[in-house]
Structure 1
Amino acid sequence: MSLKEYKPGSAFPGTVGRTLDESSPAWPRPLRAKEGAPNVLFIVLDDTGFGQLGCYGSPIRTPNLDRLAKGGLLYNNMHTTALCSPTRSCILTGRNHHSNGMASITEGSQGYPGYNGNIPFENGFLAEMLLERGYNTYALGKWHLTPAEQTSAAGPYSRWPLGRGFERFYGFLGGDTHQYYPDLAHDNHPVLPPKSPEEGYHLTEDLVDRAVDFIADAKQVAPDKPFFMYFCTGAMHAPHHVPKEWAGKYKGQFDDGWDAYRQKVFQRQLKLGVIPPGTQLSRHDPDVADWDGLPPDEKRLYARMMEVFAGYLEHTDHHIGRLLKFLEETGELDNTLIMVISDNGASAEGGPHGSVNELKFFNNTPESLEQNLAALDELGGPKYFNHYPWGWAWAGDTPFRRWKREVYRGGTTDPFIVHWPKGIKARGEVRSQYCHAIDMVPTVLDCLDVAPPTSLRGVTQSPIEGVSFRHTFDDARAESQHFTQYFEMMANRAIYHDGWRAVCPYPGPSFTEAGEGFGESKLTEERLRKLDAEGWELYHVAEDCSETKNLAHEERGKLIEMIALWYVEAGRYKVLPLVSPDKALFSLERPQISPDRKRYVYRPHTSPAPENVAVHVLNRPHSITAKVDVDGDVEGVLLSHGGLTGGYTFFIQDGRLHYVYNFVGEREFHIESAVEVPEGRTELRFEFEPTGKPDLEHGKGAPGRGRLFIDGELVAQSDITSTMPLVISLGEGLTCGRDDNSAVSTRYRTPFAFRGGTLREVVVDVSGEHLHDEKTEQKTAMARQ
């Protein structure tokens, strides 16, 4: 006799007697997806411009993504928010970024509904929706959707991936990470990479391995159960890390520079039909140097930086291909709805000259051409945290203007590929219907014949703000159902409506034309009025997709209509108040799990403390005191914060007490005790006393004197003349009793865990005055996206 099942929550349909003989059983029906329901795979690339994939006209080889486009659809009118976390919130919820409280990255949050960095639970994630429909749900790679203050072991975990509907997670919680020494989390706890760079480790390969494992684990038990996978490699965000053999494939291919790249890609885009016939290539950006006018050494350096980026992208495509091959071999590919998207345009965060250690950029520390040239042969390897100059970002967004963080189409128009052989008849066609990242969720629900839920986990749901574009899959001439879309990013504004686009750049169309760099100005009411009167541009993008003909004067009535529409949308979606990247944003206090304190206690074998919640020792007097029971041959790290790109470490080696301050990977300041650490219970202490004031605007932290003490006796002292003014680490946090991931000092190999006794605790005292310069701190923080 077959089992009798009933819907959980409904009346029990069996019978209950006094004995089993007088009773008949029935079971709550297990949650099952509809028969034949497709898998869903979102592949989210980071900082990949419209002109950087092979199928979009790039010379960079991306055969696996090209294959998806050839077997599916390539969209040329897909839009994002121009920044990573905001776009990702749209991709997963189907709501606009301000509706999600994600006006910016979580580190840039402030106390207004559209800006607080807490995605409301009434804005359910696609993972939560599909979990209730019988799907397995997996997230891999970059997350960056949890408030920065909530990413430590203290939680709360409600906004980690497992708190938002994902059953499994393997990746990193922040905005970027070292690709050879990543800051990894598995489900709700931190983990170390499975092998070292010397053993061939790279994060992208690891993520694909885990993705395959997640799928295989479930399919071997329930082969018909579909999955939703959110796969985000972290590539092509800095650091541009790739094994040398991949970068070597492009040797010499970018020697003719970014101007030539744009011309070649533009012509190929026209030939491929990726852009409409008659499209004009946008102007040479005033902030980008003419390649032909650069000195030979700069050309050599910049060309190599682009070779590394190209190798990194091809390497990423290769490993995505491994995932696709697994799906094909297991018979899952044809019934997997795949959507590939980039979260924003190409990134100009390397600055005008590029960087071999992005930590310098975040600390305002000047880059040296000589130092960068010396690093040239090792770019892409684990020693550097490199990023190309913004000339390549501009070229990567061909044919559009500008780049990430700005709302010209270079920042907001991104590659988008849809592949689903079982559900789409068309193959290898271009689609030009207007779409936005908020449309992905409703399209998936439409494909699955699932209505947006009215409630999830007992929380009443807000309306989905995107619209489905499923009707475009097999009809190239179908009208878009997305008629109006606002944009706002760091006071840059734009509005699309029915083939027209109005743009109000801030502080101007370029930094050169504005006479102000990024984060150097404040948006006042007076300036906003002037921008509304004079700063808006108007483009008929239905005929001028690359925004080359500003019609603001000729179509003044249309422009006024568009500006008014922007304000209507801004009111609807919680966009106001407008916030420019200045000190008013980053000087705000944010809610913390624990109040600020003067004494921090760390213990061995605990999870790393991320940068945002670790003790802040920069530019202030502080002490580090380790309480140790020494028993024999003692060595190892007592406390460490940072990695090879910069940080500090307090340790015992060869019987002596040591402290090393690694200044942005350039120089190690080393202090060593004159005597050995004694056996028995002992107190080991480092003290830092500033001897001058910081100059944060020019990348100089407070100089000072470091002293070592053993049981209260001074055993060494030395000056530390160069310190980091603003940021210690780009992902590698603070650890006690070991140095995880990359080593802060070249004097030992990680993890160099403490041994030869008992490390009871390490106390960091920061009761001295914190010296700081708010304006520069805020400007630098704003650059960290």
Structure 2
Amino acid sequence: MKFLSLKLWALIGICLSAPLAFSAEKPNVIFILVDDMGYSDLGCYGSEIKTPNLDKLAANGIRYTATHNTSKCYTSRACLLSGMYYQRLDREMTKVANLGEVIRPTGYRTLWSGKNHNGGKPWERGFDRFYGLMGGASNHFNPGGKARPGEPEPAGSGGKWIIDDKEVKGYVPEDKNWYSTDAMTDAALGWLKEYESEEKPFFLYLAYTAPHYPLHAKAEDMAKYEGVYDVGYDVIRNARYKRQLEMGMFDEATTPLSAVDQKKPWAELSEQEKKDEILRMQIYAGMIDCIDQNIGRVTSYLESVGKLDNTLIMFASDNGACASTDKPAKNQTGPIGSINSYECTDLSWANVSNTPFRFYKLNSHEGGILTPMIASWPKGIDQKNVFNRENIHFIDIMPTLMDLAGATYPGEAKNVALKKPDGVSLVPSFTGEKINRNVPIFYEYGSGKAVQEGNMKLVGVKEWELYDLSKDRSETKNLINEQPEVAKSLADKWNSWYTGITGLNYEEEKERKKKAKKAGSKEKAEKKKKLRKSAAL
């Protein structure tokens, strides 16, 4: 399927901009999305990692404690940019208007720096400027796949990078101090300064690739955490949970600390294994520290030009912490954290990052789909340092920004039907009011699936599990046998939703994918066998 034409989107723009004339009082908006960061990895969510700039935004705004993504990078981004469940979309999001296309006609300058991962061309889909990675991950020191003079070849293949509408093949930055998080901020600040004198508001989507693997941090950021993680997983996890309780984020009775999940207990690790684990988390902390520093660069600039008060800044992560083991990559020959390494924090530290919840990225339990989310807007959010505990999903972001921009969603353009957002606006929460949601929220990715209606959540991989999140946010007491009628009702709603939104039967589709995967594995094995035979001749 091809993208809708540029002429068609121009007509959509006329439709969108008609209801509300441009107003200088519309807020600037910055949505900051980080990659694979766990729920408790910010200071204001319980972490020992230094995040003073994000902590300040939280102190001057709202911390949402129950914001959900999809548990996976590109699907969460699809929800954010479309306002729809990703199951309704193709990878390039055709037959929908995305966030840039909806709010630019209302008078916004639209800017996108960082990761794409959803296909398509942002500069042809509503964004005035784009800088960043088109794929899912890349080397944070040198993304080009080729060595700079005097350096080893970077681990990982070179990803496709775009600077505005120009593809840079094998993007090898000349500056040996180049670092992905800094570079993405540099591009964003460059645009903000370029358009500083414009009277129109701006929307900046700042989508960092950190702290997604590979584990790469600058030496000065790592140095701040020397010795911090020598105490091991359990001490750090327990300290985070204690801080969450002390700040009033959770109550121990309703949100207990979930069970420990580790590859091997800390006490059973060899001295070398401990050194490696300490280094992994030290690097990971440095990556998050650097993100916070760069957010500080942005807020400091806005304050210096008098724009901070009327700028809504929102922050979130695209999924829970990643429990993957080290990823094999081209030229992965260096020590942990070096330019020619491509390693992960893995399961044991991910269990810490997602404190107090269970499971991880790719799972529909809370540890996979929960993210910290902060909203700060001095001129528009009069609440300070408050928790919002409503159930929220990434499908709500686009309706929220449409609400602020005064945009309406077109039903069709040139007889092409356009799907409307599934989410609801979060703007009422800015003034302490309830958001207007009267339907369940659904989840499905990989082998995980879930539905939440009110406090009751049905979640499963092979078998359904039922939890009352008002009494058990950590999903530790399965009620499936105690409340079978509730489980059946929710299961029926989930199946109806999945079939209605995809046109498929879930179990049949699951079996089809399983057979296709098995056939693919068999085909690969046969090819390898033939290659071995050819090599032996």
Q: Which of the five TM-score ranges fits, normalised by the shorter chain?
A: 0.7 to 0.9
Q: Whole-Å Cα distance in 1 between the matches of residues 388 and 251 of structure 2?
A: 11
Q: Whole-Å Cα distance in 2 between the matches of residues 282 and 135 of structure 1?
A: 44
Tell me what 1:263 maps to: 238
TM-score by length of 1: 0.60
Over aligned residues, Cα RMSD in angstroms?
2.9
Tell me what 1:207 maps to: 184
Whose strand proportion is higher, 1 or 2?
Answer: 1
2:275 is equivalent to residue 306 of structure 1: no
Tell me what 1:248 maps to: 223
The correspondence for 2:94, drawn from 120, 142, 145, is 120
Tell me what 2:501 maps to: 573
Ranges in structure 2 where 5+ consecutive residues have no aligned partner? 1-9, 12-17, 144-158
Q: What secondary structure does 2:502 align onto?
A: coil
Whose helix proportion is higher, 1 or 2?
Answer: 2
Displacement of 1:336 in angstroms is 1.3
The correspondence for 1:56, drawn from 26, 32, 45, is 45
Matches within 5 A, 1:582-661: 582=514, 584-585=516-517
Tell me what 2:166 maps to: 189
Displacement of 1:480 in angstroms is 5.9
Tell me what 2:406 maps to: 449
2:467 is equivalent to residue 539 of structure 1: yes
The correspondence for 2:69, drawn from 80, 83, 87, is 80
User: Residue 567 and residue 176 in structure 1: after superposition, are their counterparts in 2 closer, same or farther (change >3 A)?
Assistant: same
Structure 1 contact 488–575 (Cα < 8 Å) conserved: no
Q: Whole-Å Cα distance in 2 between the matches of residues 66 and 456 of structure 1?
A: 43
Displacement of 1:76 in angstroms is 0.3
Q: Whole-Å Cα distance in 1 between the matches of residues 435 and 400 of structure 2?
A: 15
**Alignment-mate amino acid for residue 290 of structure 1:** P
Q: Whole-Å Cα distance in 2 between the matches of residues 499 and 212 of structure 1?
A: 42
Q: Whole-Å Cα distance in 2 between the matches of residues 554 and 306 of structure 1?
A: 40
When structure 1 is superposed on structure 2, of 249-258 and 272-281 the one drifting more is: 272-281
When structure 1 is superposed on structure 2, of 446-455 and 385-394 the one drifting more is: 446-455
Structure 1 contact 345–411 (Cα < 8 Å) conserved: yes
Q: Whole-Å Cα distance in 2 between the matches of residues 193 and 319 of structure 1?
A: 22
2:347 is equivalent to residue 390 of structure 1: yes
The correspondence for 1:499, drawn from 450, 455, 460, is 455
Q: What secondary structure does 1:141 align onto?
A: strand
Tell me what 2:260 maps to: 284
Displacement of 1:86 in angstroms is 0.4
Q: Whole-Å Cα distance in 2 between the matches of residues 404 and 703 of structure 1?
A: 40
Q: What secondary structure does 2:86 align onto?
A: coil
Tell me what 1:134 maps to: 107
Structure 1 contact 32–225 (Cα < 8 Å) conserved: no
**Alignment-mate amino acid for residue 171 of structure 1:** G
Tell me what 2:116 maps to: 143
The correspondence for 2:486, drawn from 543, 558, 563, is 558
Structure 1 contact 536–552 (Cα < 8 Å) conserved: yes
Structure 1 contact 499–542 (Cα < 8 Å) conserved: yes
Matches within 5 A, 1:109-508: 117-121=91-95, 123-146=96-119, 159-182=120-143, 183=159, 184-191=161-168, 195-196=173-174, 198=176, 200-220=177-197, 222=198, 224-278=199-253, 279-285=255-261, 288-349=263-324, 351=325, 355=326, 358-360=327-329, 375=335, 379-455=336-412, 459-475=416-432, 478=434, 481=437, 483-506=439-462
Q: Whole-Å Cα distance in 1 between the matches of residues 438 and 413 of structure 2?
A: 26
User: Residue 586 and residue 163 in structure 1: after superposition, are their counterparts in 2 closer, same or farther (change >3 A)?
Assistant: farther
Structure 1 contact 141–234 (Cα < 8 Å) conserved: yes
User: Residue 94 and residue 457 in structure 1: after superposition, are their counterparts in 2 closer, same or farther (change >3 A)?
Assistant: farther
Ranges in structure 1 where 5+ consecutive residues have no aligned partner? 1-7, 10-28, 102-116, 147-158, 507-534, 589-615, 622-688, 694-701, 706-785
Q: What secondary structure does 1:274 align onto?
A: coil
Displacement of 1:128 in angstroms is 0.1
Larger radius of gyration: 1
Q: What secondary structure does 1:334 align onto?
A: coil
Tell me what 1:21 maps to: none
**Alignment-mate amino acid for residue 44 of structure 1:** L
**Alignment-mate amino acid for residue 373 of structure 2:** F
Displacement of 1:296 in angstroms is 2.0
**CA deviation digits over 1:152-210, x for unaligned, max 9?**
xxxxxxx2111221111100100001111124211232237684453x11121111111
Q: Whole-Å Cα distance in 2 between the matches of residues 32 and 280 of structure 1?
A: 50
Displacement of 1:459 in angstroms is 4.5
Displacement of 1:234 in angstroms is 0.4
User: Residue 457 and residue 79 in structure 1: after superposition, are their counterparts in 2 closer, same or farther (change >3 A)?
Assistant: farther
**Alignment-mate amino acid for residue 239 of structure 1:** P
Q: What secondary structure does 1:78 align onto?
A: strand
Give the % identical residues.
32
**Alignment-mate amino acid for residue 66 of structure 2:** N
**CA deviation digits over 1:580-632, x for unaligned, max 9?**
775615967xxxxxxxxxxxxxxxxxxxxxxxxxxx9xx789xxxxxxxxxxx
**CA deviation digits over 1:366-398, x for unaligned, max 9?**
x9xxx8xx82xxx33322122112111121111
Q: What secondary structure does 2:106 align onto?
A: coil
User: Residue 587 and residue 326 in structure 1: after superposition, are their counterparts in 2 closer, same or farther (change >3 A)?
Assistant: farther
Aligned residues, how many? 496
Displacement of 1:275 in angstroms is 2.1
User: Which of 1 and 2 has higher RCO (CA within 8 Å, sep 6+)?
Assistant: 2
Q: Whole-Å Cα distance in 1 between the matches of residues 196 and 321 of structure 2?
A: 37
Displacement of 1:289 in angstroms is 2.1
Q: Whole-Å Cα distance in 2 between the matches of residues 359 and 429 of structure 1?
A: 43
